[in-house]
Structure 1
Amino acid sequence: MRSIFRLPSTSSVLAMLVWMSASAVAAAPEVPSKPSFVIIFCDDLGYGDVGCFGSKTIKTPNIDRMANEGLKLTSFYAQTVCGPSRASLMTGCYPMRLATEKNDVAVHPRLHTEEVTIAEVLKPLGYVSMAIGKWDLAGHSQSTYSRDLLPTYQGFDTFFGTPSSNDSIVNLLRDDQVIEKKADMSQLTRRYTDEAISFIKQNKENPFFVYLAHSMPHIRLAVSDPFQGSSAGGIYGDVVEEIDWNVGRILKVLRDVGVDENTYVIFSSDNGPWYLGRSPNHLKRLGPNAEQHGGSAAPLRGAKTSTWEGGLRVPFVIRAPGKVPARTQSDAVAATIDLLPTLAALAGGKTPSDRVIDGRDITTLFTTADGAELPMKPYFYYGHRRLEAVRLGKWKLHLPLPVNQSWAKFSKVGDNVILETPALYDLDTDISETRDVAAQHPEVVARLMKFIEHARADIGDHDCVGENARFFDPDPRRPDLRKSTKQ
């Protein structure tokens, strides 16, 4: 018998199309109305250590793709060392303004719980948040940290990472509990990224904030087997290329779960690269090739711990398809202190109004295709507790100060300069800070010195307390001032 195939009626076809359309809508992932944020924060990655910022020996195709599909900022600043840099990022303030446990202004601050972090700004707006990797705001130690200053006590919903640096060992925590001692450092970059991917998948229908703070390329350097010897930049390059590969994994999962166009991904570093060629401890531990374990700030002068540009000007890339215009670049001065007010604005929230916040909303930089400009505002360079320089527009003024002997070993001999008078540099024409033009521009020096005096009075300095510096614990305020003013 011949089978007969009958075409469905018009009404049946319409019903089927309606059902298929409804099913497709139901199956599609629900994208939250508010944008999500991922901050990938490296440790001791230099200005010249990624391809899109000029590296010739380290290949970073995923970070370069972020720059090609988004915005690159070429005058972006952090702080000179790890802890203060993370404090600034989390709070939108210069470290010297921030309240710390027992008011102790240490090199690595223990951030007071009364300070407001990015996670705490986003939480009332419906965000879920996770901190991953290096925290360094509860004590610069793998064991003697303040448990109640860990991320889950500072606004984050969950934490997987380590309380401090990977100088010798890394203990891993889940929230506030140690789950693994002396973890294999060669697996950290992958494991941190695994955690970020899992969190994104679980929270794809909510606005989320992921703070992914890699332990490397801070020493001790370690890399997984697939990346050993992969780079022309030695073990340091191997480590950076592994970080880049894992950046690619983050970008892929955002696409896979359907939130790529609603997520701002930021890549940056906490300070400039180590210079280890004159550090006795590192020379003993790493041998005569110790310098190879540090990165490059080229073409900038200086390195981590210094207030030359190489100490705290860092690479910065942001990507959000359809939100951040592709293939854009700006030399506008911006900094980690600007991220809290900017993310708050992008999320539809507000910057805390009950305290001074040093950063500003730089959303226009992220969203303008034709190169937005920001009103000029001074940026202050603190070397630990000491105010050492200021930048306004193209001008940077270094103060006449003695060499900080505690940190001189981390600088090349030529960078340990004793200035008898203020030194002025035009960063537009002299990015490497080689030509002091103070004598030719006394009016600029005078103007910038007024900003310095304002910062000393408002924020503070190594020998004075700022009027708007915060203290939540009983006196004495700034007990470090009793120890020594030779910072």
Structure 2
Amino acid sequence: MRHDPRIPGAALMRHLLLAIVGIVSVLLTSTTLQAAQKPNIVLILADDLGYGDPQCYNDQSKIPTPHIDRVASEGLRLTDAHTPSSVCTPTRYGLLTGRFCWRSGLKRSVLWPWDPPLIEADRLTLPKILKQQGYATACIGKWHLGWDWPLDGGGFVSDEFSGVTMPVKPRRAFGERIDFTRPTQGGPLDRGFDHYFGDDVPNFPPYCFIEDHRTLGVPSVAKPQGMFGHPGPALAGWDLSLVLPTLAQRAAAYVEAQAKTPARPFFLYVPLTAPHTPIAPSPHFTGKSQAGAYGDFVHEVDWCVGQVLSALERTGAADNTLVIFTSDNGSPQRDGTNMSGPTGSVPKKFGHDPSRPWRGMKSDIWEAGHRVPFIVRWPGHVPANQTSAEPIILTDLMRSIATLVGYKLPRNSAEDSFDISPVLFGREFSAPIHGNLIHHSGNGMFAIRQGHWKLIRGKTSGGFTRYKAPKDAPLGQLYDLKADPAEQNNLYTARPEVVECLGAELDRLVSRGRTWPTETAHK
């Protein structure tokens, strides 16, 4: 600014200050408007919910799911959505990193009590992205991605164990040395979340809630022998049936708290603990379904969804919130006997099929192991009461949400994530978003899908379904999902050229270190 000789020095300073204040005010207003235009994001991840459990996916379901069904009627329901694994931990890793877990140190199965953090400290995660974009970030529910637990006398588990999953004897020894008076490391707050509340894994010790870096109370008694779960320390009087409703109440309370500062968007990740074992529906839900304790627990999951939706509506946040509901894998179909039950017992006992219409169950490489419900709602942005048959994987959420909030992903991140926003928001796209889908079972079996062809690298289910292949069975399985969605007619021997082509492509994508981008991918 040029000095006007008619303005005294003091007055000039006042003019300068007013000009600076005005500029800052404009910048702050601009920043606030940009933040306000970004939607809140609520991601609800059920645990072991089958494709055939919600009524909006199965007209023969024996479980009332009015809140899940309502989200579907007000949004978009995908019918060909898949988890990156058929079991818990790997799906959670893939969801938050956009990378297949089998590229990490965990090649099969899940993490177990006291195992260290699985997500690498320097890896970009979905909450880290959103935090950088001005979001408040919270995880309320089941973490199941490892912690670095403090030990008696100082130090942490990572000071003495550098692997991924512990052998049985060291695991027990570490469990006896945990110092619950000290904060943990390597958990949700160290992977991008501002806040965490949950029961890490409901059937694993410690049997208590964890908030941020600390347990709420010191679990100082041994888990009662009659209580479901792995042995280990617990809070006295710990009640498994209170875990799920507590998580729902905390999630709703978080929405209400964040709504008080609407200028700052929030990301709420709600990985529920149900209907995974322990199957412990609250008394209010007992007998509300026609599928036993399992069905009652699924009905309680639906109630949890309703609690979050109600909080969004009460606070006026619903119209600017992208709600995503899905599951971490298929259902093991346990009937709830002693809070568990044999796998596959729900259809036999109650005539309700959590996997309908697909073959298999949780952990399997067959469709029911990894094909899951996936519903999105954002009024005015996501088409209402629509369905899409476009194939997607949960790893796709990272790149899609990054696109939504205007974040450019570095190349060394989200290696297996594709932008599915054209699907979610009803935009035109000319080519399939995925050229291929890679599936992975609980015991580490691979499959690749290209169009209607699905090649499985193994003779069995790869998971929980007990299936003994005939002696003359070929080395793998090949199914035409268009003609044979139930995966009953193995064409492995009849179509060797398809087997060869898909096998070569699977090898290429595994060794390449990433599936995105590919020549056939929508960009």
TM-score tier after normalising by the smaller chain length: 0.7 to 0.9
Counterpart position of 1:135? 143
- Post-superposition Cα deviations, 1:200-227, rounded to whole Å, max 9, x if no partner, equal 1121212111110111100111111211
Shift of 1:56: 2.1
Aligned to 2:86: 80
1:412 aligns with one of 452, 455, 466: 466
2:109 aligned residue? 107
Letter in 2 for 1:38: V
Equivalent of 1:431 in 460, 485, 503: 485
Deviation at 1:393, TM superposition (A): 1.6
Which of structure 1's runs of 4+ aligned residues deviate more than 4 A? 103-106, 139-146, 282-290, 369-373, 401-404, 414-419
TM-score by length of 1: 0.78
Alignment of 1:34 with 2:89, yes or no, is: no
Q: Which residues of 2 match residues 40-439 of structure 1 at below 5 A? A: 40-54=44-58, 55-78=60-83, 79-98=85-104, 103=105, 105=107, 107-108=109-110, 110-138=118-146, 147-166=184-203, 170-180=207-217, 181-182=234-235, 183-204=238-259, 205=262, 206-275=264-333, 291-292=345-346, 296-355=354-413, 357-368=415-426, 374-384=432-442, 386-400=444-458, 410-413=464-467, 419-439=473-493
- Count of matched residue positions in the alignment of Structure 1 and Structure 2: 421
The one-letter amino acid paired with 2:91 is S
Deviation at 1:422, TM superposition (A): 3.4
CA contact (8 A) 1:424 1:437 kept: yes
Match of residue 24 from structure 2 = none
CA–CA separation in structure 1 for the residues paired with 2:384 and 2:51: 21
Residues of 2 paired with 1:245 and 1:347: CA distance?
30
C-alpha distance in 2, partners of 1:196/1:57?
27
TM-score (norm 2): 0.73
How far residue 169 of structure 1 moved from its aligned partner, in angstroms, is 7.0
SS in structure 1 opposite 2:36? coil
Identity of aligned residues (%): 32
**Which blocks of at least 5 consecutive residues in structure 2 are unaligned?**
1-32, 112-117, 148-164, 166-170, 218-233, 516-523
Q: Distance in 1 between matches of 2:386 and 2:341?
A: 42
Give, in angstroms, the shift of residue 372 of structure 1.
Answer: 7.8
Indicate the SS of the match to 1:456: helix
1:420-476 CA distances to partner (integer Å, 9 max, x unpaired)? 23322121232210112345544332321121211332349xxxxx9xxxxxxxxxx
Cα deviation, 1:126-176, whole Å, max 9, x if unaligned, reads 000110110000168998599322101110000000222436874210111
Measure the CA separation in 2 of the matches of 1:383 and 1:200. 35
Q: Are 1:445 and 2:499 matched, yes or no? A: yes
Equivalent residue number for residue 27 of structure 1: none
Query: Gaps spanning 5+ residues in structure 1: where?
Result: 1-29, 461-465, 467-487
Task: Give the distance between the partners of 1:418 and 1:85, measured in 2 at CA.
Answer: 34
Deviation of the 1:81 alpha carbon? 0.8
What is the one-letter code of the residue matched to 1:66?
V
Q: Aligned-residue CA RMSD in angstroms? A: 3.2
Match of 2:157 in 1: none
State the alpha-carbon separation in 1 of the partners of residues 212 and 470 from structure 2: 42
CA distance in structure 2 between the partners assigned to 1:370 and 1:455 by the alignment: 27
Distance in 1, matches of 2:397 and 2:206, equals: 30
